[in-house]
Amino acid sequence: MTNAPLMPMATAVWLVENTTLTFKQIADFCNLHEVEVQGIADGEVAKGIKAYNPIISGQLSREEIELSSKDQSRPLEIKNTDIQISNSEKKIKKYVPLSKRQDKPDSALWLIKNHVILKDSQIAKLVGVTKNSVTSIRNKSYWNYNNLNPKDPVALNLFTQKDLIQALEKAERRIKREKKEKEKQKQSI
């Protein structure tokens, strides 16, 4: 069988402990050798491996197990439709060293000068400073404004180029939306 369940050894442990399936059925389903499954049942193989329930994970149904338990020649069929593994990256707030924290106002200034379409809130979110700090940098009222040097935040590794592109696309969509609203207001007058 080409489609093995997630964590096949742990799944085999659960199937041995919780079903009346034959060793051959479990071995075929988990892509293991029948002797390995026998070893699991005897407690010689997979010591310390925690059982993994394939029903909870959506790889098998109770009905599937019951059908195969009644007919020893019937192989278990994995449910492919319910298994979804997400490969999308989650944004994780990481620790920013003190040296890089000092670069944040410089990066905000760089974004203000080079990407005027970004809102203060977008810059604050990208760089990791408060919206008030960005506003004060834009108004040149920031407490340390005279010592700021614009620095590219992507080069400083404060965020990725992908993050910047997404923020710029969002700003462009907002500007287009605002233009359409203004045109509608002009037409209604």
What are the CA-CA distances from residue 28 to residues 2, 12, 51, 106, 154 (Å)?
A: 10, 10, 18, 60, 50
pLDDT over 50 (residue 1): no
Q: How confident is the model at residue 57 (pLDDT cuts 50, 70, 90)?
A: confident
Q: What is the DSSP string of 16-30?
A: HHH----HHHHHHHH
Higher pLDDT pick, 142 / 2 = 142
User: Which class for 6: exposed (0-12), middle (13-18), buried (19 or more C-beta within 10 A)?
Assistant: middle
Which tokens hold the place of 188?
């209604």
Among the residues of the chain, which ranges form H helices?
8-18, 23-30, 34-42, 62-70, 98-101, 104-114, 120-127, 131-138, 161-188
What mean pLDDT value characterizes the chain?
Answer: 86
Contact 75, 28 (CB under 8 A): yes
pLDDT digits 0-9 by tens, 120-177: 999 999 999 999 999 999 999 999 999 999 999 988 888 889 999 999 999 999 999 9
Percent of the chain's residues with pLDDT above 90: 46
CA distances from 172 to 67, 93, 175, 176 (A): 57, 26, 5, 6
DSSP 82: T
Task: Report pLDDT for 117.
Answer: 94
pLDDT recorded at residue 94: 67
pLDDT at 86: 54
Whether the model clears a pTM of 0.85, i.e. scores above it, the answer is no
pLDDT at 85 over 60: no
